[in-house]
Amino acid sequence: MRPQAILRYVGLALLLSCAFMILSCCISYAGGDDGLLALGYGALVAGLIGLLPLVFVPPVRALSAKEGLTVVVLSWLLSCLVGAVPYVLWGGPFSLTNAWFESVSGYTTTGSSILSHIEGLPRGLLFWRAATHWIGGMGIVLFMLAVLPAMGMSGGVLLRSEASALAREGLQAHSQQVVRILWRVYVGLTLAQTGLLWICGMSLFDAVTHSFATIATGGFSSWDRSIAHFDSPLIEAVITVFMVLSGLHFGLLFAAAAGAVRDLWASDVVRYYLAGLAVGVAICTLSLQLRDGSGWWPCFRVAAFQVASVGTSTGFATADTAAWPGAAQLVLLFMTLQCACSGSTSGGIKADRMVIFGGAFVRHVRQLMHPRGILPVWREGHPVGREVLEESLLYIATYLGIALVATLALSALGVDLLSAFSGTVATMGNVGPGLGSVGSAANFGHLPAAAKWVLTATMLLGRLEIFALILLLTPGHWRDTAGY
């Protein structure tokens, strides 16, 4: 591999973080808060590291597949590292471990936090915290893909390295067309939600930061009580709708906006995803009503928001789900494992793989009944290829295996079993809150430092869909072989 090629591309990713740090500096300066210096020095670090390869490394016009994969993974890792600099410099609750945890949680759109008093942060730092969601939701690699043509480079390798085969299926276009489609949907949803939240009574600052977190399915709020702070059914309804939209394949959303609404509903994955949310809301509403008897509407209101929040891996909160009945908690745990659709900003195993798994299960049962029959697994009206089927089933097995190992590690570090398991699947699914001591009304700040490093590893594994990070850590990946 060519280190100079990798450095130039990673430098571009860091410049995006630098730009948002500068914007955060402007907000700090306008508000006169004490986050200005921390953000300013952070922008300087990100800018210098990002610019130096562009100045001193000659242009590179083509990347190999191995180089593309390395660029994608290193862009995420170094962005998280640079993103932690303003937290460390500001101090307060941000030790090195806590700053790394908060930065990784932001960029991976996880939304887990170590903060117990969010409102105590300077406004500029709150904006930076929300911006890491928006950058990580779709910004890092797509930013590079958007600027590469102007530099005479091709981004096809990067697109293939960043997006899984399932995510690319709904985007039958060249890489630059894909970039334009995704950016239009991403920015369009962000602007639309910002406007609606502002109309519903949020301040412009809150509307922007919460839209960043919603469309990226992140979950960082600028208030300790998250969305419960606003106590507004209208605001909750707007955020719920945009959480559900952000969990859909962006290619299908773009097609629907262009008039092909039938294509959206024709997708068996979309129907499964929406039906799953509806069933989850019904079970949670019934469980809460049977326990509390507080009325169907209050129970439905909180259940709809929380199921959509967890089921799309966003992680906002309007209730303490750690105190919910067991049946409702089981629904949330399942949603935490599955999450939304490929081709969205959501995390988790993905609804697409669950549909394939269900099809494979039914096919196996039918095969036992008809041993000589040729029975393919169907998805979106087409038979699933053997490679996609094996990848999906292997991914699910590997995902659950890693979650088990991480849960064991947290338990060995003294974390109770419920918090260890729910915290692991919540971070690996990039959901945010778990249950127990890391529930929606709590935070991760009380965990041992070693546990936080384990959880940041699961965040990155989940965001990079496991195998990209594993390949980077494989010694053979770095060998300079012919034909790479």
Walk along the chain (484 residues) in steps of 10 and give the mean pLDDT of each run.
79 90 96 94 95 81 73 88 96 95 96 94 96 84 51 47 52 60 87 97 96 94 95 97 93 82 85 96 96 92 97 95 94 95 88 91 88 79 83 93 97 96 96 94 95 96 84 72 42
250 and 115 in a single domain? The answer is no
> Are residues 16 and 135 in contact, defined by beta-carbon separation less than 8 angstroms?
yes
48 and 185 in a single domain? The answer is no
257 and 371 in a single domain? The answer is yes
183 and 220 in a single domain? The answer is yes
Question: What integer pLDDT is reported at residue 152 of this predicted model?
Answer: 46
In a domain, 241, yes or no: yes
Q: What is the pLDDT of residues 178-204, one digit of tens each?
A: 677 778 888 999 999 999 999 999 999
Question: What integer pLDDT is reported at residue 139 of this predicted model?
Answer: 59
HSE on the CB side for 260, CA within 13 Å? Answer: 10
Q: What is the distance between the alpha carbons of residues 179 and 171, in angstroms, rounded to a whole number?
A: 10
360 and 327 in a single domain? The answer is yes
Q: Which residues contact 428 (CB under 8 A, 6 or more apart)?
A: 347, 399, 402, 403, 406, 458, 459, 461, 462
DSSP 380: T
In a domain, 207, yes or no: yes
Question: What integer pLDDT is reported at residue 170 of this predicted model?
Answer: 53
The count of domains in the chain is 2
Q: Which residues contact 387 (CB under 8 A, 6 or more apart)?
A: none
> Are residues 447 and 424 in contact, defined by beta-carbon separation less than 8 angstroms?
no
Q: What is the distance between the alpha carbons of residues 48 and 57, in angstroms, rounded to a whole number?
A: 14
In a domain, 423, yes or no: no
Q: What is the pLDDT of residues 86-121, one digit of tens each?
A: 999 999 999 999 999 999 999 999 999 999 999 999
